[in-house]
């Protein structure tokens, strides 16, 4: 199955440079409808206004972390099936387990290459 590259994608990260990097990689992969939010609270507000086919979120943010955002996304009827990828420097086994238990679709460890991002996203949204 091929990924729908026209889907809305939400990138959530408190570092503007990381948002630019991820947005650039998504554009290279053909995704054109990319929004961003600086934290989980802002992301949840966007998720209530617009349908997203994919969320890529950092773990470490304040006041709402990526894990808390994931739990909120999974708790909402409208967003509970939205593909969610954690993009983080947190490589601890317990964090990966916590994210899996909360319903994450995949996990990308920073730093990562375009090829790694493509592989992780393909497993979640289809062939890119």
Q: Identify the CATH number of the domain in which residue 62 sits.
A: 3.40.50.2300
pLDDT confidence band for 49 (50 / 70 / 90): very high
- pLDDT value, residue 119: 98
Evaluate whether residue 79 is within a structural domain: yes
pLDDT confidence band for 1 (50 / 70 / 90): confident
Contact yes or no for 30/55 (Cβ under 8 A): no
Evaluate whether residue 1 is within a structural domain: no
- pLDDT value, residue 22: 98
Instruction: Please give the structure tokens belonging to residue 21.
Output: 């990097």
DSSP 127: B
Domains: count for the chain: 1
Write out the residue range of the structural domain in which residue 61 sits.
8-90+102-123
The region that residue 92 occupies, defined by phi over 0 for left and psi between -120 and 50 for alpha, beta otherwise, is: beta
Q: Is the pLDDT of residue 106 over 90?
A: yes
């Amino acid at each position: 199955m091929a990924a729908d590259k026209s889907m809305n994608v939400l990138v959530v990260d408190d570092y503007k440079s990381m948002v630019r990097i991820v947005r650039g990689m998504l554009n290279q992969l053909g995704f054109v409808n990319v929004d961003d939010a600086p934290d989980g609270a802002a992301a949840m507000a966007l998720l209530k206004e617009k349908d997203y086919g994919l969320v890529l979120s950092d773990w470490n943010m304040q006041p709402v972390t990526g894990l808390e955002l994931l739990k909120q996304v999974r708790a909402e009827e409208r967003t509970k099936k939205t593909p969610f990828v954690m993009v983080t420097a947190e490589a601890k086994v317990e964090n990966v387990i916590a994210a899996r238990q909360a319903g994450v679709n995949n996990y990308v460890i920073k730093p990562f290459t375009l090829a790694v991002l493509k592989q992780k996203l393909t497993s979640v949204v289809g062939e890119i």
